[in-house]
Chain A
């Protein structure tokens, strides 16, 4: 398949890995920010090709993983209302709230639908005028423009039975928070290719300058990731900070101005709590005042949300690059994709699920041990 196969070529991948190996002069800790990158690294075994001196740690860029529990509980409460048809991206359905997930709400009678686009949810609202159609608008800057477009379109067409539960998060504040932490280990970043396709790289230039780190905006195919890593290692070893773009076929320094304008019209900045990380100032998007009529959080009052996180889930440390999924005592035992304790075990972009689904067990393990782990 054109535009795919050349980025999954074994020959090119091995060539890039060999270049990293021969140029490496010191050990480095590099974080890939985006969950799509984590998924690809584990799915293709990119890290297996790397020399031991390059340690990849997995970042907070899995949107369902960082959606705060309060928001998920609020979503579940709204979804359970009899007048509501609740629309969500597929991988949100299994994310555990304090009491079950959307699939169990659906099994108990809630009208929960998987959609691929917020515009599909809007269409559904026009087809079901007697229902309140609520779209769960989560994600980073990548999904924000499409969600903004749907909300603007709903207002333009006066689709009054449509609303969105908005919980967008922004990448730059999360990177800053990781770098500000006293226990930070990350020395450089593979920047989020799709987020920068929308937003451009200016915000990342500011971070690179402020914290004196290299950031290489990188794509999602194995060859992209290896090339991004090679560029990162070269910057680290040359002591060069700043932003370089590996993902040139999609990313321009100024981003996509129309998408940014659309987001700026429909959303405004807000403080946002990140699951596993905590409250980060000005790290989220919420609906701007003119669009409040379409805010599901305003339309549907939800009384008293009391959240409960499992005590033994280390997802927060995994999301900040401080622990690997396999460092968790519950990993693969009490916490599996069938019964996840934390969101990182749900989405295939979550580091825990990616490890569980695709990581090889050590060769020495016998089958019975393997069964215990799996």
Chain B
């Protein structure tokens, strides 16, 4: 697409390139143009607009939560989201499940020469709207460009800072015997939606990624269930990884029930077809909550009342014996162990 025929989306006159070129990362005039045309147009906050070498933030009260994450998804745009939304939601969610109120983000872009500037604008616009949804401000950023073939369109790294309110002590090592295990909704939606768009495995589905910032869901949950012990967002490695990490760190076991796992029929069907285990598939807008039994119903009700938690479900409980293990009661009533994914999920031959 040329810049001239795209008045509504790209009104800057005389833009020289419609694709990212190496010069956009060179630190000179082209870099400046990219910064002003693309990034500053989306992110109008005062801190970023000052263009200092560092964002200087106001004094923050309380313990700080600080996290970073790199995003390399392929394809860049998928049903229900894109790398921009993912990059904001992912870091916001890492802060939120630590009990923090997410406040500030930085974003670093590694762009591949040849990326369409309109695609970059879509990514940045998606980051802007997701940041707004999550109530965070993007205050610092950087862009580098690498030669064609040395990256996959765009890589985005986001770093986030949040403040943990007084009295919140969520920890992966705080699960206790008798706690209830809850998930905030259907599992595997993101992983299967992205899989469905991968070259070589495209299949028709209306399934969308669940990619979303969870800070407001966490607030709603913790308001009704303030004694919640641990939260995790089961992203890469899926629910299995989150539960194994909690069981190991808390020196407890976790028993879940296959029949209680909330699953969309399309996700189940894709798992059957490709021989995948939904417990290992990534989610980008779900959390798993370890809640004392006395607050479990309140926690579920709080999630059900939130748009991102409508399909929340109780899936199991925490026990003392077999410390470190996660077990699953299978659909026929037997018990098997749940382990972390080793490497990558590889589809079976038949």
Interface set of A (CB-CB < 8 Å, partner B): 1, 4-5, 8-10, 13-14, 36, 39, 42-46, 48-49, 63-64, 89-94, 103, 113-116, 120, 124, 138-139, 142-143, 194, 222-223, 336-338, 347-349, 356-361, 363, 365-367, 370-371, 374
User: Residue B201 at the A interface, CB < 8 A?
Assistant: yes
Number of A-B contacts (CB under 8 A): 124
Min distance, Cβ A79 to any Cβ of chain B, angstroms: 16
The count of residues in chain B whose C-beta lies closer than 8 Å to any C-beta of chain A is: 32
Residue of A with least CB distance to B265 = A1
Is A360 in contact with B327, judged by CB distance below 8 angstroms?
yes
Min distance, Cβ A343 to any Cβ of chain B, angstroms: 12
Q: Told that A14-B333, A42-B336, A370-B322 touch, could you supply 6 new A-B pairs with CB distance under 8 A?
A: A4-B268, A44-B334, A114-B346, A349-B348, A367-B251, A371-B324
- Binary CB contact string for chain B from 327 to 343 against chain A (1 if under 8 A, 0 otherwise): 10011111111010011
Is B200 in contact with A91, judged by CB distance below 8 angstroms?
no
Is B342 in contact with A337, judged by CB distance below 8 angstroms?
yes
Is B349 in contact with A44, judged by CB distance below 8 angstroms?
no
Residues of chain B within 8 A of A223, CB atoms compared: 332
The SS class assigned to the B binding surface is: loop
Cα of A167 to Cα of B200 in the assembled complex, Å: 23
Is A91 in contact with B336, judged by CB distance below 8 angstroms?
no
Is A115 in contact with B200, judged by CB distance below 8 angstroms?
yes
10 A–B contacts from the bound complex (CB under 8 Å): A36-B350, A45-B334, A64-B349, A90-B349, A91-B349, A143-B349, A347-B349, A361-B322, A367-B324, A370-B322
Is A116 in contact with B332, judged by CB distance below 8 angstroms?
no
Is A358 in contact with B337, judged by CB distance below 8 angstroms?
yes
Cα of A1 to Cα of B335 in the assembled complex, Å: 22
Cα of A331 to Cα of B200 in the assembled complex, Å: 35
Q: Which of B268, B323, B331 contacts A10 (CB 8 A)?
A: B331
Cα of A358 to Cα of B265 in the assembled complex, Å: 24
Is B337 in contact with A91, judged by CB distance below 8 angstroms?
no
Is B322 in contact with A139, judged by CB distance below 8 angstroms?
no
Cα of A115 to Cα of B322 in the assembled complex, Å: 39
Cα of A44 to Cα of B274 in the assembled complex, Å: 17
Residue of A with least CB distance to B203 = A116
Cα of A363 to Cα of B319 in the assembled complex, Å: 13
Q: Which of B269, B275, B343 contacts A1 (CB 8 A)?
A: B269
Is A361 in contact with B325, judged by CB distance below 8 angstroms?
yes
Among B323, B324, B332, the one with the most A-chain Cβ atoms within 10 Å of its Cβ is B332
Q: Which of B200, B272, B275 contacts A114 (CB 8 A)?
A: B200
Min distance, Cβ A2 to any Cβ of chain B, angstroms: 10
